[in-house]
Amino acid sequence: MDIAIIDYGVGNLRSAEKAFQHLGFDAALTKDPAELMSARKIVLPGVGAFGECMERLYEHEFVEPLLKEVHAGKPLLGICVGMQMLFDGSEEAPGVPGLGLIKGIVKKFSGEEFGSSSGLKVPQIGWNALSYPDDSKRHALFAGLPVGTHVYFVHSFYAQPDDPADVLAYSDYGGEFCASAGRGNVMGVQFHPEKSQRAGLSILANFSKA
Q: What are phi and psi of 209, to 5 degrees?
A: -90, -20
Does the CA dihedral 118-123-127-133 come out positive or negative? positive
Q: What are phi and psi of 105, to 5 degrees?
A: -130, 150
The residues annotated as belonging to the active site are: 80, 192, 194
Q: What are phi and psi of 18, to 5 degrees?
A: -65, -35
